[in-house]
Every structure is written in structure tokens, then in C-alpha cells.
Chain A
Amino acid sequence: MKQQIGQRALTSLISLLGLVVLVFFLSRLTGDPAALFLPVDASEEMRQNFRALHGLNDPIVVQFGNYMADLARGDFGESLRRARPALDIVLEAFVWTLQLALITMSLVAVAAIFVGSVAAFTVGSKFDRFASLLSLVGASAPDFWVAILAIVLFSLQLGWLPTSGTGTIWHWIMPVAVLFIRPFGLILQVVRGSMLSALGSPYVKTARAKGVKSKSIIFVHTLRNGMLPVITVMGDQAAALLNGAVVVESIFGFPGVGKLMIDAILQRDFNVILAAIMVTALAIFIMNLLIDLSYALLDPRIRK
């Protein structure tokens, strides 16, 4: 087990490195940040100066060497636009994103598993149909619709919640709710399908013969058997949130990593892009590791 994790850490490190190299070179093929940072009527001299200031005039291999040397010392470079260390910027934003992702995914996990399981258990019932349809509508509706309608309804009309921003717990409600919808719909469907298969298994009969309550048949016996795809898809959705929930962040003014990343990409702020990718990649790698480990925890047959 220890050895396995060690090996995993090593391969992950290699892939992270590969990712950095890939992003480093590819992103530099996508245009000149000077053109984007400086106003259109800036002179060629200003542009040169800007490039020189950020070492963009060196041959790309030299730039890469410098970057890696700095990286080895734990220096992720400065943002081209913000006059701040890229890592600081990213970490500040990542804290928000992480919180948002964690809160959302925990709610999604609880709600989707609960509703999905019950829907599978009562397959074909009104509850099943209703839960499925509603969640599907939610999951396929454009997220900005939902976000703006929520603001119009809950802030403008009813005045219950602040429109946007951070600060109080009330500020979290709408962003989390909007982020909740898509993963909820998707995971609910996956849970439902997975449980539907599991509920036909003979061990369910055994449990019934033992007099086990329906509740525990659903949530103890079958759930764990149907969990593998569910946590995998949850991981995917969580990764999407970790990569940043751009729409929600920009509509609700959440200072997360999604908006940061988009801006950095659109502005070719290379160091921020790289730092952001490394931080989120690390989080995603760790999450995938945990998910892979949990397979074996959930299903002893997979332990080898």
C-alpha cells in the first residue's frame, strides 16, 4: 500500500512536470502578452520594454530553463499584470474555490445519493419521475440563466439574499445553489442507474430475508456496491469545480480560481496560468488518488 502510494506520487510528479512543460510551451505559442497588457496605441518601444521586463525576449528554451530553475527554488514567478508573485495570487483564489467546491460537493453527495437511491428504490413512481425530470432540467439549463434568475427572484423581488459578493453566510447560498444543480442532476442519474442494477442483486434478497429495513438495504447494502461509478463521476464534477466555476464566480463576484484562470489565459499571463494549473492539478491529482484508494476500501474484491 505504502509502496503503491509512493509509486503513484512519483508518476504523478512526472505527469505534473509534463503538464508544466506542455503548458509552458503551448501557451507561449498563443500570442504576445505585451499586446494585451499595453493599450493599442502603445509604441513598439513600450512593447519591447514590457517584454524585456518579463524576460519574454529570450529564446523560449532559455525562458524555460529560467522558469524551471526558479521553480526548483519554489519561485513561481511574478504575474505579468499584477506585480505580485503568481503563486500568492493563485493560492488566495484557490482558497475560495476550494471552499466553494467542498461545500457544493458535500451537499451534492448527500442530496444526490439520497434522492437517487430513493428514486431507484421506487423506480417508476411519481417521486422517481419527478426527481429525474426536475434534476435533468436543472442540469441541462444554462447556468447563467439560473444564476441571474435567482438574483432577480431572491434579491430583487423578494429581497431575501444579497445579490452577490462575499462576506456573510448569506452570500454563499446562491453561488452554492447554482453550482449544486448540474452535478446534482448528473450524479443523481448515475446513482439511480447504479442502484437500479444493484437492487436486483441476490444479496438484497438475503437482506430482506434477514428482516433488514428498507432504509438500510438501500443505504447500507446496495449503495456501497453501486458507489464506484458514483464517486468517480463525483470526482469529475469536483475537478470541474476545482478548475473554477467561471460563470458563478463572475456573476456572483466570487474571487475564485476560475475567473482568475480565464483572465490569465485571455491575457496570456503565463506565470499565473502555470501556477494556477499546478495548484489545481495538484488538488486534482490528490483527489484522484483518494478516489482510487477508496475503490479498494469500498470493494474488497478490488484489493490486490
Chain B
Amino acid sequence: MPEHLLEVCNLSVRFHTAQGPVQAVDNVSWHLDRGETLAILGESGSGKSVSSAAIMNLIDCPPGEITQGEIWFDGQDLLTLSNERRRALNGKRIAMIFQDPLSHFNPVYTVGWQIAESMTAHDRPASEAWARAHDLVKRVGIPEPDQALRKYPHQFSGGQRQRLMIAMALALKPDVLIADEPTTALDVTVQAEVLTLLEDLQAETGMGLVLITHDLGVVADVADRVVVMEKGKIVESGTPHAIYHTPGHPYTRKLVAAAPGKGALRQPSTASEPLLSCRDLAKSYGGFDALKGISFDLMKGETLAIVGESGSGKSTVARLVLRLEDATHGQVLWKGDNLLTMSRRDMTGLRRQMQMVFQDPTQSLNPRMSVHELVSEAWAIHPGIVERRHWRDRVVALLEQVGLTADHATRFPHQFSGGQRQRIAIARALALNPEMIICDEAVSALDVSIQAQVIDLLGELRDRLGLSFIFIAHDLPVVRDFADRVLVMQAGHIVEQGKTQDIFNAPSMPYTQRLLAAGLDPDPDVQAERRAARLLLANS
């Protein structure tokens, strides 16, 4: 047997819960060679994150338990090493990019300090560490790196944090990089840059990359090999080409079939009155203008997608509309009333009509409440929607609609995978039967099959109840399938807005054109061609 860079053999992980043990990873084996990119595809909650946590010695035992298996790295079984020796490997030889970038940053230290720490922890001098941190932050495309290093995590946008997390993981040029959904919050142009960065590093140091992703396009673009997981087990493995074109396992087939961006474009219903209008909405943080005066309308029953550069102010729009933060100036009109000047009490009354799914699901769920409590809280706040005795059934129904099961209701948020948490958040938003939902990257952590299920659900609600959506997403194929109109943002401005059809077929602004051109195709063959063309373009 040839020596692999990293080899996982027969790994099983089990969690203890109040309802009994949960087998999160079940007899999983895979390996990674030097310079290779292994993509792990899989259903949300299938054990991808847990198995990588096992490699990094991050599973709390108890309540977790590695029931069997070996993880070979550098000729030694990691599971038999002392904690201290594993610590020495972590970050230096094996690094990891976490799925939820916000919660995985320490809120009270500057990002510069945290990035530098990944080096100083391994005895690099501080000055060198800061210099490299500066360099890395620039490489991942954060503007004004000097200032950025001195800022705190909460001052960055979701995508920016994700990139900072990547910078942190790359600091010591590890031999193995485990990237858990590293591009879920990145727009395609930045995503392309990040993927190129990873490839460059691979070429430079022979780094092995384990890429956990749900994005078939990314797989098609960079993966050398693919393993597919479902319910804790590996169900299939092979080359991207083989997986895409001749999927063997039913789950894989479902996955490939569910790849978005192939359906018919929606024909928006003809104009009705605007439900929500933003007029010259602006927000500045200290001296920095995050939003520079934007105006748009959302019609009743319409889905307005906001796409755009990471850090361009998309989430800020959402926060301002819901008055989670005060706008610097501008108006937000809800059925003609200005939300921004409304009294707190009137606002509370309106709240139930508008809901939001936050970009960071982990942080938006109260860790002390069970799923049942989280979802049913809406009804406790607004009595009269669902009678108390129906709560249990209704919660179960909602959970099932988003692809979870009834016995998840008694669990707590920390016992879920990233994608599962996102779905809990969606279920919670739906519980109130609102008129408008703002989805901030609401489906970005879901595997395509679940994503399709959720999108279908949202679409159905839209058609049946006339729900309106503001759909913030980076995933253009999903937007293409789901949105009526698209609004493209860059650096706090709206650069272009129009019907989905128009934007996708005939983008007028150069940024939009670039965005569309950077899209990845799930078919490895197609993607290989695009890639070749792009490289050619870049080299010329």
C-alpha cells in the first residue's frame, strides 16, 4: 500500500445525546495524497464536518466518542498520539477552515492578532507573524489590509470573515488543509480568486487539500477525486468526471440531478404595489460607508435577489430594513409607512410580517433552547397563529418540510451540523407565516438535493401565499432558478438591477458580466473548458 499523506481508516464517531447515541460518522475511510484535492460531497448532516474534526482532535470526548478507526499522517496514527503532539501538528502541518466563520473567531481579539497567533503559537516571532498576516489578508482580497488587521471580527461581512479564516489556516503553509465549505459566503469572483490561491499554494508546497463542499461547480473546477457521503457513510467515490456523468449510488444520482441552474427562468408576475421600498438608504460605520444610498422596491409576491461582491453591503441592507441597526439616513417604506421612524411598539406589531434567516445560523439560534422551543417561540410571541396544543405537530411538520426529522425537535443547536442549523433557522422564519422573508445566504450551506427541496418549498409558499423574498445569495444558479428580479451590488452601491432574465442573459454592467463569467459549471468537462479559457485570458 503506497504511503498516503493522510489516510482515514474505518473511522466511526458517535455522539451521546439525551435521547441516546447518534452515529455521526460510520466506518469512513479515505485518503489524500500530496498535492491532491479530495472533495467530500454529501448530504447535509452526513458527517463531513465531524470526520474532519476528528482529524483535528476537536471532538469533545465525551460527549463525542471515536468508536473505531485510525487516522494516519506522517507515518503515525493521530488517534494514538498525545494531545500535546497533536497540538504541535495542528495549524502547522494540518490546518482547518471552519464552516461558520463568525462564531469561530474570538470576538474580543483583533483579526490581525488572531491570524498572527496561528504563527506565534508555533514559535514564529511576532513581527514576522504580523508581516505574514498582512500579506495573507491582502492575498485573500480584503481591502485595506493594514486597517483590517486591527479590526474585530464583528466588523467584517460574512464573506470577509470566511476569507480571514482562510488566511489564518494558510498562515503556516500546512501539508494538509481541510476546508469545510470555504466558499459558502463568497461571490463567484472572489471564490475564483480563493480557489486559485489554494491551487497556487498546492503547486508551491504540495499541500493536500480536503475540500468539503456542496457546490458541484467547485468540485468540477478543482477536485482530483471525490467521495460522496450520506448518513455517516461513504456511498461512492471516484473522479469528478465519473461521479458527474455516471453516478452509481442513488443519492449521488439525486445530487447530480438536483444541480441548480438548469430550470426555466421565472416569468415575474406583472407589477403589483410595492410591499417594501428603500429610498436612498445609507449606513456608515465610523468613517466607513458600508452602504452609500441605495433605492429599490420589492413588490408583493416577488422574489428580489441581491447578489454582489462580498462586503458590498448586502447583509447591511437586511439589517437596516429590519431595524436591527439604525440607518445613517434614508427611508424604508413598508406598505407606505416609514419603518425607520416608527415607534418601537408599532414596529413590534409589524415584525411578524417580516422575517429573516441570518447569514450565520449558529449564532442566531439561542444555544439554550431546544429546536422545539426555537421554532415555537414565534407562536409564543404572537399568540393566535397556532394553538398551543398543535405546537408539537406543527413544529414537526415544519422540520420535515426543511428535511429534518421529528426527533430533532428535542435536540439543541450545538448538536447539529451547519446545514441543519440553517434549516432550523428557515423553519423558524416560516413558522410565523410572514409576508416577507429576508434570506441571507439561507441555503448556502445545504447540499444541492436539500437545497432544491428547500427552494421548492419556498417557491411553493410564494405561489400559494404570495410571500415576498429578499434573497441574498452568491450562488448564481440558485438565483437564476428562484428569483424574479436581481439586484447587483458592489461597494455599497447598486450597480445594476433588473429582471432575472435580463440580468442573466444580457448583463449591461462590466461587474455583472464578470460575475456571470466567473460562474462554475457542475459538469467537469464544461468547467475544464471554461477554466482553460480563463487561464488563457489570464496569461495573455
Q: Do A and B come from one complex?
A: yes
Q: Which residues of A are at the interface with B, using a C-beta cutoff of 8 A?
A: 200-203, 205-214, 216, 221, 224-225, 298-301
CB contact between A299 and one of B92, B105, B108 (< 8 Å): that residue? B108
CB contact between A216 and one of B90, B91, B92, B121 (< 8 Å): that residue? B121
* Contact residues of B between 392 and 428, Cβ < 8 Å to A: 414
Chain A residues touching B, majority SS:
helix
Q: Is B530 on the interface with A (CB-CB < 8 A)?
A: no
Q: How far is the CB of B9 from chain A (nearest CB, A)?
A: 22
Q: How far is the CB of B109 from chain A (nearest CB, A)?
A: 8
Contacts of B122 in A (CB 8 A): 211
In the complex, the answer to whether B106 meets A207 with C-beta atoms within 8 Å is yes
Contacts of B91 in A (CB 8 A): 209-212
Contacts of A207 in B (CB 8 A): 106, 117
CB contact between A211 and one of B53, B87, B108 (< 8 Å): that residue? B87
Contacts of B90 in A (CB 8 A): 208-211
Contacts of B105 in A (CB 8 A): 203, 206
In the complex, the answer to whether A300 meets B107 with C-beta atoms within 8 Å is yes
Contacts of A200 in B (CB 8 A): 414
**Nearest residue in B to A216 (C-beta to C-beta)?**
B121
**Nearest residue in B to A298 (C-beta to C-beta)?**
B108
9 shortest interchain CB distances as A-B pairs: A211-B91, A211-B90, A210-B91, A203-B106, A210-B118, A300-B152, A202-B103, A206-B104, A212-B121
Contacts of A225 in B (CB 8 A): 106-108
Q: How far is the CB of A277 from chain B (nearest CB, A)?
A: 36
In the complex, the answer to whether B104 meets A301 with C-beta atoms within 8 Å is no
Given A202-B103, A203-B107, A225-B107, do A209 and B154 touch, yes or no (CB 8 Å)? no
CB contact between B154 and one of A205, A213, A300 (< 8 Å): that residue? A300
Bound complex: CA of A214 vs CA of B92, how far in Å?
16
In the complex, the answer to whether B95 meets A209 with C-beta atoms within 8 Å is yes
Bound complex: CA of A122 vs CA of B291, how far in Å?
47
In the complex, the answer to whether B106 meets A210 with C-beta atoms within 8 Å is no
CB contact between B121 and one of A205, A213, A224, A301 (< 8 Å): that residue? A213
Q: Is B457 on the interface with A (CB-CB < 8 A)?
A: no
Interface CB pairs A-B, < 8 A, 27: A202-B98, A202-B362, A203-B103, A203-B107, A205-B98, A205-B104, A206-B105, A206-B106, A207-B117, A208-B57, A208-B87, A209-B56, A209-B90, A210-B90, A211-B88, A211-B92, A211-B122, A212-B87, A212-B118, A216-B121, A224-B108, A224-B109, A298-B108, A299-B107, A300-B107, A300-B108, A301-B152
**Nearest residue in A to B100 (C-beta to C-beta)?**
A202
Q: Is B89 on the interface with A (CB-CB < 8 A)?
A: yes
Bound complex: CA of A203 vs CA of B114, how far in Å?
10
Chain B's interface size range is 20 to 34
Contacts of B109 in A (CB 8 A): 221, 224
**Nearest residue in A to B55 (C-beta to C-beta)?**
A209
In the complex, the answer to whether A211 meets B104 with C-beta atoms within 8 Å is no
Bound complex: CA of A225 vs CA of B152, how far in Å?
14
Q: Is B185 on the interface with A (CB-CB < 8 A)?
A: no
In the complex, the answer to whether A209 meets B58 with C-beta atoms within 8 Å is yes
Bound complex: CA of A209 vs CA of B165, how far in Å?
12
Q: Is B96 on the interface with A (CB-CB < 8 A)?
A: yes
Q: Is B454 on the interface with A (CB-CB < 8 A)?
A: no
Q: How far is the CB of B534 from chain A (nearest CB, A)?
A: 32
Q: How far is the CB of A139 from chain B (nearest CB, A)?
A: 28
Given A202-B100, A206-B104, A225-B108, do A211 and B121 touch, yes or no (CB 8 Å)? yes
In the complex, the answer to whether A213 meets B87 with C-beta atoms within 8 Å is yes
Bound complex: CA of A202 vs CA of B362, how far in Å?
10
Among A208, A209, A299, A301, which residue has the most Cβ atoms of chain B within 10 A? A209
Q: How far is the CB of A122 from chain B (nearest CB, A)?
A: 13
Q: How far is the CB of B324 from chain A (nearest CB, A)?
A: 14
Q: Is B304 on the interface with A (CB-CB < 8 A)?
A: no
Taking A210-B168, A211-B122 as known contacts, 6 extra A-B pairs with beta carbons closer than 8 A to each other, sorted by chain A number, are: A202-B98, A205-B98, A206-B98, A208-B90, A211-B92, A301-B108
* Contact residues of B between 113 and 147, Cβ < 8 Å to A: 114, 117-118, 121-122
Contacts of B95 in A (CB 8 A): 209-210
Bound complex: CA of A205 vs CA of B55, how far in Å?
13
Q: How far is the CB of B117 from chain A (nearest CB, A)?
A: 7
Contacts of B96 in A (CB 8 A): 209
Contacts of B118 in A (CB 8 A): 210-212
Cβ contacts B62-102/A at 8 Å (1 or 0 each) = 00000000000000000000000001111110011010100
Bound complex: CA of A201 vs CA of B414, how far in Å?
10
Q: How far is the CB of A153 from chain B (nearest CB, A)?
A: 41
Contacts of A202 in B (CB 8 A): 98, 100, 103-104, 362
Bound complex: CA of A143 vs CA of B35, how far in Å?
67
